[in-house]
């Protein structure tokens, strides 16, 4: 049985690809006058591309392919240390 998460992700991917295709068609259409378009096609195209990329990565993760940072098998992620967050200790002899 197909999961709801898969259906939603595929629909989002299809919608993002449709937005990309429509914006490309609008950008390639010759202009008849110099009036600006009501929809700024380039930012919408970039946002559609980002959404499509994220949906594709999510589909790949659902299929079992790990796309993020991987740890060695059997080890858990260590908590972030606070060493880099502390202010350096001054040396009383040198003043630094």
Q: What is the pTM of this model?
A: 0.67
Q: What mean pLDDT comes out for the span 27-37?
A: 89
**pLDDT at residue 84 greater than cutoff 80:** no
Looking at the predicted structure, is the pLDDT value of residue 21 above 70?
yes
Q: What is the mean pLDDT of residues 2-26?
A: 95
List, for residues 53-83, the tens digit of each pLDDT value.
999 999 999 988 887 777 666 566 666 665 5
Select the more confidently predicted residue: 71 or 43.
43
Quick one: three-class SS letters along 24-77?
A: HHHHHCCCCCCCCCCCCHHHHHHHHHHHHHHHHHHHHHHCCCCCCCCCCCCCCC
């Amino acid at each position: 049985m197909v999961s709801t998460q898969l259906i939603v992700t595929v629909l989002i991917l299809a919608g993002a690809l449709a937005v990309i295709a429509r914006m490309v068609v609008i950008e390639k259409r010759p202009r008849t006058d110099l009036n600006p378009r009501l929809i700024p096609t380039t930012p919408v195209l970039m946002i559609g591309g980002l959404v499509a990329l994220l949906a594709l990565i999510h589909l790949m993760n659902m299929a079992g392919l790990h796309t993020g940072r991987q740890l060695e098998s059997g080890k858990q992620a260590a908590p972030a240390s606070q060493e880099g967050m502390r202010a350096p200790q001054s040396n009383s002899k040198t003043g630094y």
